Amino acid sequence: MSRLRRVLLAVCLVCGGFVANAAGTPPNLVVILVDDLGWTDLGAYGSHFHHTPNIDRLAQEGMRFTDAYASCTVCSPTRAALLTGKHPARLHLTDWIPGDNRPTARLRPPAWSPGLDPNEPNLARQLKSAGYATAIVGKWHLGGTNSRPEALGFDLNRGGDERGQPPHYFSPYGLPTLPDGPKDEFLTDREGLEAVAFIEANRSRPFFLFLSHYAVHQPIAGKPDVVAGYRAQADPRAGQHHAEYAALIESVDDCLGRIRTRLGELGLATNTVIVFTSDNGGLVSGGDRAPTSNWPLRSGKGDSFEGGVRVPLIVHWPGVVKPGTTASVPVQTVDLYPTLLEAAGIADVAGHERDGLSLVPLWRGGGAMPNRSLFWHYPHYHTGGATPYGAVRSGDWKLIEYYESGHLELYNLASDIGETVEMANAFPEKANALAKELADWRQRVGAQMPEPNPAYEPKPIDVGPDGMLRLSAHLATTHGINLRYESPAHKNTIGYWTRSEDWVSWEVQLATPGRYEVEVLQGCGTGCGGSEVEVSLGESRIRFTVVETGGFQKFLPRRVGVLDVPRPGRFQFALKPQTKPGPAVMDVRQVLLRRISDLGPHP
């Protein structure tokens, strides 16, 4: 280390810029990022099935965050946010690479970036320029060619390329940047060996190790003896019972134990920062074979709800982070970039526009995070079923905006962590304020929005578990000039129905023929009633007359008649005005269809 560097480090130490050991050496940095690890997958976060003693001990000896969030609901954007301190929306890297192609979806995704810009300031390059040895072990998934780890400041790359999952968890691995080991060597074990080898080779200088596990991503696998042990105790009625997944998590725990043991043997443990987290929520699709359950959180990877974005975060820094502490302040992946730079005593690149905040004052226990909102932007479709959305968390409130329709959902996480009670209509001012804050943030960071897709093919709506076919306003297709969907909180309705030529439709799927009663939730202002509206389902038609309800946003459920469905299949359900004596037809919030009988004589 140069004499100037030593002087600067000493000044930083005196001024409190970072905490170093007695010799003034900056701390080593170890970031462990697990792929697809859910919020409740660890013993320290409530799992009773997964065996994670080393991770649990890390939490007991460090700080555990209860409200930590990934910067995106999928992997590549979160990884980019960690390395740059920028929101994926600002980077225009907003989906897993290369993303999911939906040529007939309602919206077309923007022209987003399928790789991390090599000119973007990033953690590895910053630390390397300050004298750190840098390495990535495991998954990269931020692009190939000019976006490979070697082009972005990593001295060593063991296992990373453009792919998002390993071909095999047992050697031979099929990874060009990781030589195969002995036959049937396990990939997570190998990542641990590579991590330890890097630490040993750089014991005399500061190092940054980005241990980016391929686990616990698919293809899920585990060592046979460990899998057998979990199968013997698995309860298929429990949310978490997947033996292979549990064995894969245990391999991550073993890896952490191996690294911490070697750090202690080399005398490096007291001057090493360890950050342990995940890139998104746990995968819950697959029915009974779903890898995990994120309960009490709703949904999982790829979705806007807490199960898709809330993640474990544990920080260990002897002498700085008080053991056994818990932090409930909401934090996000973008915060790790400025945090680790401050921990190392390194100034950011001049003019670098970053979004994260340093957590070092919080780690030290003497500071508090400023009040701020957290944001997400996902203008894509996900294989798990999620549609393009934006979201904001402000205090206890969380708002989700669905880009297909503008539909808003509002939840209070303090009273409803499972996001089961939607409150946009109950608290319209709060919903509208958060929607504006989200829109302002998108403009501020230059977020790319999806666009209407001219090749859109509507997906049919199916009967729900209760036997009802619910046709909500936000799922409708409007036809005409003025007619449109008006989003919550004040609206959530089909409105501006000022032309009799305009009409609205839904694509539906009915598996059971029969007679279906139609209920329309309609509103109509004083002096605007009397419009005659045709209701059609396939070839079956009925008519009803709109009644005044005292206001367009005062809705009255009206059973308007019965439609016959002679065969199963896909149909268009439509509402078409036939007359309009007043200024407008009506507002519609929802249409319900309930099967009341088999076909036969009308009752």
Which residues have a catalytic role annotated? 75, 141
304 closest CA partner among 401, 206, 192: 401
* Strand, helix or coil for residue 149: helix
SS3 assignment for 389-452: EEEEEECCEEEEEECCCCCEEEEECCCCCCCCCCCCCCCHHHHHHHHHHHHHHHHHHCCCCCEE
Q: Chain centroid to CA 349: how far?
A: 29
Distance (Å) of CA 442 to CA 149, 343, 450, 453, 503: 29, 30, 13, 21, 32
DSSP string for residues in 168-206: -SBSS---TTS---STT-BHHHHHHHHHHHHHHHTTTS-
Sole residue written with tokens 């790829």: 302
Number of residues in the chain: 603
CA–CA distance, 343 with 126 (Å, rounded to integer) = 13
**Six-digit token pair at 165?**
């999952």
Q: Which residues in 247-317 belong to E strands, given as ranges?
A: 272-278, 310-316
Sole residue written with tokens 């309609």: 522
CA–CA distance, 19 with 63 (Å, rounded to integer) = 17
Sole residue written with tokens 């989003």: 487
| One-letter amino acid of 519 | E
DSSP string for residues in 349-383: PTT--------HHHHHTS--PPP-EEEEEE-S--T
Q: Kindly calculate the radius of gyration of the chain based on its CA atoms and give it in whole angstroms.
A: 28
User: In sequence order, which residues have a C-beta less than 8 Å from that of residue 240 and are 6 or more positions away?
Assistant: 40, 41, 47, 48, 49, 50, 246, 292, 293
